[in-house]
């Protein structure tokens, strides 16, 4: 392989840059014919212009619009066609073709009117149709007009079978959402056989059970008891108020919590309130990851008692106290029987088996009382106890609602 000789660098000039010597101009008689792509000499404006589209326009100055001229084109030279804006075509003389407004055509007689497929038909023109010619519209198919067959009842519903997930909820094994999850994972057995297909149905006499893997998974789920203070909402944040779940942190755990459960960040996943307290109410609020606990506390068929201590203002006679125990209605629905009694001069003890929105406050208004303080102290067999406001603890393994 041969070495390529290196180029000698250009010699420096006085200005510090390399200047090219201009070529000598050729005689006029020997000048070649102009080509369309030939480079034109620079004009006297001080800058080199690019190649023009037309040779005759190479050395001409472009017409520029300025603010002085109003941004309009300069006037045309004499002999050129004057400009005319769009839409200024002169109108035709009245003698050529008179203009006729739309819709002044005289109506045509009915006998002379052509009848084709596009012309509208009147009800009187349609032939009469027998009543039993075709079935009603909702009983025939849209494409053939044949009557539809009568719906056939599913044989699975005739024997009283229900969905497996619903059956698991009725048995208290888990919630509907958890049941579908356990079925997909193959943790559910029906009469000793694993069922992993969603939508499966079972009969009332069949035995449904959750295997050991599902039970272990449920045991890992936690339930938290919080003493909610005033100013926090039970569920999602609303009207600028924070949810009570923001208080469930490692720093706010009660120092005297008897549970030996170690706090993990995963305990926040899927943690939802099982019940609610008004923003002005305080006391026991339950958060849980276990669908069984949530269904037992807020399910439609829940019968767990909830005890409240209510501070009121006003007077209450024996008839009003009797109405608080039973006989009141809210939103047109009769309330379940309650247990209401006096704790002291200004406090009432309420024990309810339902939880409508602001139920106790509305009940007191119906009998002429005003609630000035409300505290929930018990849910089922779980007491609030000495849990300080704003702190929480785990539901112990030996506790149940």
Catalytic residue ranges = 278
Phi and psi at 339, nearest 5°, equal: -120, 110
Report the C-alpha gap between 247 and 393 in whole angstroms: 11
Helix or strand run (H / E) with residue 373: strand 370-379
CB 232, CB 220: distance < 8 Å:
no
Phi and psi at 292, nearest 5°, equal: -65, -40
Compute CA 79 distance to the chain's CA centroid, rounded to the nearest angstrom: 70
Largest interatomic CA distance in the chain = 132
CA-closest candidate to residue 234, choices 283, 270, 267: 283
Half-sphere exposure of 49 (CA within 13 A, CB side): 17
CB 211, CB 188: distance < 8 Å:
yes
Q: Which parts of 129-252 are beta strand (E)? A: 162-163, 188-190, 193-194, 201-202, 208-210, 223-228
DSSP at 40: P
For 103: left if phi > 0, alpha if psi spans -120 to 50, otherwise beta; the answer is: left
């Amino acid at each position: 392989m041969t070495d390529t000789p290196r180029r000698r660098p250009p010699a420096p000039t006085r200005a510090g840059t390399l200047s090219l010597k201009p070529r000598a101009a050729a005689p006029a008689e020997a000048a070649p014919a102009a080509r369309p792509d030939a480079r034109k000499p620079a004009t006297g404006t001080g800058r080199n212009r690019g190649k023009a589209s037309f040779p005759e326009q190479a050395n001409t100055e472009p017409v520029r619009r300025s603010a002085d001229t109003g941004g309009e084109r300069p006037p045309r030279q004499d002999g050129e066609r004057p400009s005319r804006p769009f839409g200024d075509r002169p109108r035709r003389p009245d003698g050529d073709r008179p203009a006729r407004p739309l819709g002044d055509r005289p109506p045509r007689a009915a006998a002379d009117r052509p009848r084709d497929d596009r012309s509208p038909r009147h009800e009187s023109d349609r032939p009469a149709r027998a009543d039993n010619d075709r079935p009603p519209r909702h009983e025939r198919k849209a494409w053939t007009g044949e009557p539809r067959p009568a719906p056939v009842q599913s044989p699975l519903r005739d024997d009283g079978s229900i969905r497996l997930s619903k059956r698991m909820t009725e048995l208290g094994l888990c919630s509907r959402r958890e049941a579908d999850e356990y079925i997909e994972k193959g943790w559910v057995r029906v009469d000793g056989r694993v069922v992993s297909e969603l939508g499966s149905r079972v009969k009332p006499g069949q035995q449904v059970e959750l295997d050991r893997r599902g039970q272990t998974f449920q045991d890992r789920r936690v339930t938290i008891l919080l003493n909610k203070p005033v100013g926090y909402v039970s569920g999602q944040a609303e009207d600028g108020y924070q949810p009570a779940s923001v208080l469930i942190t490692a720093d706010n755990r009660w120092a005297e919590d008897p549970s030996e459960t170690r706090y993990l960040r995963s305990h926040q996943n899927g943690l939802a309130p099982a019940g609610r307290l008004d923003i002005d109410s305080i006391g026991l609020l339950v958060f849980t990851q276990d669908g069984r606990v949530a269904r037992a506390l807020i399910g439609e068929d829940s019968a767990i008692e909830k005890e409240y201590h209510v501070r009121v203002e006003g007077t209450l006679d024996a008839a009003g106290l009797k109405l608080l125990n039973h006989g009141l209605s809210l939103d047109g629905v009769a309330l379940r029987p309650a247990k209401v009694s006096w704790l002291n001069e200004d406090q009432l003890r309420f024990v309810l088996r339902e939880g409508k929105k602001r139920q106790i406050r509305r009940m007191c208004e119906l009998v002429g009382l005003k609630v000035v303080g409300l505290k929930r102290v018990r849910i089922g067999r779980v007491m609030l106890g000495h849990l300080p406001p704003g702190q929480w603890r785990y539901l112990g393994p030996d506790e149940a609602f």
